[in-house]
Amino acid sequence: MQNVKEYIAQHKDRFINELIELLKIPSVSADPAYNQDVLNTADAVKDSLEKAGCDNVEICETPGYPIVYGEKIIDPNLPTVLVYGHYDVQPADPIELWDSPAFEPVIKKTDIHPEGAIFARGACDDKGQMYMHVKALEYMTSTGNLPCNVKFMIEGEEEVGSESLAWFVPRNKEKLANDVILISDTGMIANDIPSITTGLRGLSYVEVEVTGPNRDLHSGLYGGAVANPINILTNMIASLHDENNHITIPGFYDKVEELSREERDEMAKAPFSLQEYKDALDIDDVHGEAGYTTNERNSIRPTLDVNGIWGGYTGEGAKTVIASKAYAKISMRLVPGQDWEEITELFKKHFESIAPKSVKVVVTPHHGGQGYVTPIDNIGYQAASKAYQETFGVTPIPQRSGGSIPIVALFEQELKSKTILMGFGLNSDAIHSPNEHFGVWNYLKGIETIPYFYQYFTELSK
């Protein structure tokens, strides 16, 4: 049987080229203009699974974008790993800030990736990380190294809330039955400091609309006498945080699971340089909730952020106007204990209650999902930890992430299994930003590490 390192060395150019082809298809799920491209990407993923040795590969139709399913069942008595990933990507905007076109992948060296990184939308989130699993499977099936059963479920709506997957999972529990769920859609601390993600934040995403007068008005004739929806909206938003950067929505923190001093001390042991953090972002200071460190603020604490705000005149030059309407998109990152639908309701009630009588407010919930934490005393985590030790030579650090993959909580609820988050991206890979990239080293290291997870998970299941 061939060793995984040798197999990768022999096939790495093809592995990279195949990923590049996949990255050329602009599978932007948020924008209907890319509808056909998203569907074509599902087909490409299907082909790749077939070529990697999967059986029963199918495009499963849903009310939205399809889910690509495939499996390799070698013995029903052996454990089953369910791999999840997503083939959709975020919009490339603002495109003018990309150094090379988002859907024309190029490999360039960077300080952090001296061996080169693939620059393209989706390179890290999540096509590159998803494809590591396809190539790891190819290695295992073609060299007789697959130690257990495997199922793949790759969706096309993760970046827009996974609505169709939430529809699909409860209807296909039998088909999706598994012993552990394996996902690479997160990151690690650094290439020499691997970490396993043990928590994700939940999310509540809402849009607010503030309406003042029934039409745009001359700001001289009416200014000072009627409510300006933009002034009002920005005041209302400002009032959502107090001077300690606590969120002021009544009841918002009621169910937050606080960590013990010991747990926080344990977290603080993860290597972190505040100076490097600030330098990487070109900021002179950090900002956040009083009483918590930067790493706590972005993982174990809930937050509220305006993601976009608009209204009135934003074109060339000046126009004197009081707009009739102002809008904002607001996200709240939630932590275990907080229920996203309850938080959405609390937000709505509070936001409506603080609006002065001079305006009307409409709060429209978008999507959301629950947070997730996984304990580290299960065989899934242990198998992952041993796999990293094998290929990185060090024990990975458990770390809670600030990002969200809302479907993970639903997997646990519906399929009753734990999810192991083996992410190989770096924070500096610029996911969702211009110039997203994924280190070639990270890509190949992922392919190398994944088969060990299967091996150790199978051994520890005995």
Q: Which does 149 bind (CB under 5 to 8 A by kind): Mn ion, ligand BES, none?
A: none
Residue 199 binds ligand BES (CB under 6 A): no
Q: Kindly state the smallest distance separating residue 183's Cβ from ligand BES, in Å.
A: 9
154 vs 444, beta carbon nearer Mn ion: 154
Stretch that binds Mn ion, among 23-31, 102-110, 183-191, 448-456 (CB under 5 A): 183-191
- Return the residue of 186, 298, 442, 455 that touches ligand BES, per CB under 6 A: 186
Residue 203 binds ligand BES (CB under 6 A): yes
Residue 122 binds ligand BES (CB under 6 A): no
Distance in angstroms (rounded) separating the CA atoms of residues 340 and 367: 9
Binding mask 115-154 toward Mn ion (x if CB under 5 A, else -) reads ----------xx----------------------------
Residue 405 binds ligand BES (CB under 6 A): yes
380 vs 406, beta carbon nearer ligand BES: 406
Q: Kindly state the smallest distance separating residue 447's Cβ from ligand BES, in Å.
A: 19
Residue 429 binds Mn ion (CB under 5 A): no
Q: Which of residues 137-166 bind ligand BES (CB under 6 A)?
A: 158-159, 161
Q: Which does 161 bind (CB under 5 to 8 A by kind): Mn ion, ligand BES, none?
A: ligand BES
Stretch that binds Mn ion, among 177-185, 243-251, 261-269, 357-365 (CB under 5 A): 177-185
Distance in angstroms (rounded) separating the CA atoms of residues 285 and 186: 26
Q: Kindly state the smallest distance separating residue 35's Cβ from ligand BES, in Å.
A: 18
Question: Which amino acid, residue 426?
Answer: L
Residue 436 binds ligand BES (CB under 6 A): no
- Return the residue of 41, 404, 417, 442 that touches ligand BES, per CB under 6 A: 404
Binding mask 286-315 toward ligand BES (x if CB under 6 A, else -) reads ------------------------------
Residue 401 binds ligand BES (CB under 6 A): yes
125 vs 138, beta carbon nearer ligand BES: 125
Q: Which residue has the tokens 């991206």?
A: 425
- Give how far Cα 374 sits from Cα of 167, 199, 371, 401, Å: 24, 6, 10, 12
Q: Which does 247 bind (CB under 5 to 8 A by kind): Mn ion, ligand BES, none?
A: none
Kindly list the residues in this chain that would bind Mn ion in the complex (CB under 5 A). Answer: 125-126, 185
Kindly list the residues in this chain that would bind ligand BES in the complex (CB under 6 A). Answer: 125-126, 158-159, 161, 185-187, 200, 203, 367, 401, 403-406
